[in-house]
Amino acid sequence: MKVTFLGTGTSMGVPVAGGFKRKELAHDPRNERTRCSAWIQTENTSLVIDTGPEFRIQSIRSDVKNIDYVLITHEHMDHIAGLDDLRMYNYVSKDPIPVFTTETAVRSIKKRFDYMFGENKYPGSTSLSLTVIESAITLNELKITPLPVYHGDLNILGFRINGFSYLTDVKTIPDSTKKLIKGSECLVLSALRWEPEHPTHLTIPEAIKLIEELEIAQAYLIHMNSYVDHQETNDRLPSNIRLAYDMQTIEID
Ligand SMILES: [Zn+2]
Ligand SMILES: [Zn+2]
């Protein structure tokens, strides 16, 4: 299984609009972070987790030619704004794209992208088939297990895909979900910044603690803000934890 980080930045992206706060970071392409999205490829399956505002650009630069399934973690715009860009993939597949997410996100997507649904569906608009995922499902050779976590007070989902777990915008992981993550070969976890603590996101020190507690051998951090320098942070992290960067590809057995 191949995982490509299409984007690794926090909700505002890095650098932020207007280029503010840019001086804080070294000129390193790994410090340019588009909004979080991941692309999972196996021999038979192409699956995307989240489609943010830069999805069109991400799909071009990482050469995403087809999409069989989409998993959405939650309804914040930095994770769903790119749903409209999936239109092109409808032309490729000729079918609605299956999307799996929470009940709240299904409601929110239908409301915010109302022109894609129902009797008044605008001709040529993206066709999505929205499904609420509450327990593990199998899609081709992939076992997809939803991982309920908290993003502040908001119930959102991470996903375990075979031995790979992906969690973004997390603040708290319930014990029942920790059990589902345990044994993952690789974990991707969001971490906003070193400090201070944040009400709805894990910080880097909090993420390190969780990765240790879950006894994960290999972990990558995503959703970092514009104060997190790639090289400087990697130098401070335990050797089994790395910051992910845009367009990075990793292989999972
Ligand atoms: Zn986010
Ligand atoms: Zn969010």
Could you read off the pLDDT of 173-221 as tens digits, one per residue?
Answer: 999 999 999 999 999 999 999 999 999 999 999 999 999 999 999 999 9
Q: What is the mean pLDDT of residues 49-77?
A: 98
- Distance between CA 218 and CA 158 in Å, rounded? 17
pLDDT at residue 19, rounded to an integer: 83
- Distance between CA 223 and CA 9 in Å, rounded? 4
- The yes-or-no verdict on residue 56 having pLDDT over 70 is yes
Ligand that lies nearest to the alpha carbon of residue 37, given by its number in the listed order: 1
Q: Give the dihedral sign, CA 217/220/221/222.
A: negative
Q: Which residues surround ligand 2, an ion (CB under 5 A)?
A: 76, 169
Cα(34) to centroid(ligand 1), Å: 11
Q: If you write DSSP's letter for every residue of 175-230 in order, what string do you get? A: HHHHHHHTT-SEEEEE---SSS--SSS--HHHHHHHHHHTT-SEEEEE-B-TT--H
Q: 120 by DSSP, 3-state: which?
A: coil
- Distance between CA 125 and CA 52 in Å, rounded? 17
Of the chain, the percentage scoring pLDDT greater than 70 comes to: 99
- The yes-or-no verdict on residue 151 having pLDDT over 80 is yes
Cα(94) to centroid(ligand 1), Å: 30
pLDDT at residue 20, rounded to an integer: 81
Domains of the chain: 2-251 (3.60.15.10)
Cα(43) to centroid(ligand 2), Å: 31
Cα(238) to centroid(ligand 2), Å: 26
Tokens representing 27? 């000129």
The Cα-based distances of 12 to 8, 79, 95 in angstroms read 11, 11, 32
Q: Residue 24 — pLDDT band, cuts 50, 70, 90?
A: confident
**Range scoring the smallest mean pLDDT among 17-21, 33-37, 120-124, 182-186:** 17-21
What phi and psi, each to the nearest 5 degrees, are found at residue 98? -70, 125
Alpha helices by DSSP H, listed for 127-183, are 175-181
For residue 110, give the DSSP letter.
H
Cα(222) to centroid(ligand 1), Å: 10
Ligand that lies nearest to the alpha carbon of residue 79, given by its number in the listed order: 1
76-90: b or e for each residue (b if 16 or more CB lie within 10 Å)? bebbbbbbbbbeebb
Cα(80) to centroid(ligand 1), Å: 10
Tokens representing 153? 């007070």
Cα(120) to centroid(ligand 1), Å: 30
Cα(96) to centroid(ligand 2), Å: 25
pLDDT digits (tens, 9 = 90+) for 69-85: 999 999 999 999 999 99
Cα(73) to centroid(ligand 2), Å: 9
Cα(52) to centroid(ligand 2), Å: 11
- The yes-or-no verdict on residue 23 having pLDDT over 70 is no
Q: Residue 163 — pLDDT band, cuts 50, 70, 90?
A: very high
Q: What residues contact 93, with CB distance under 8 A and at least 6 apart?
A: 66, 67, 68
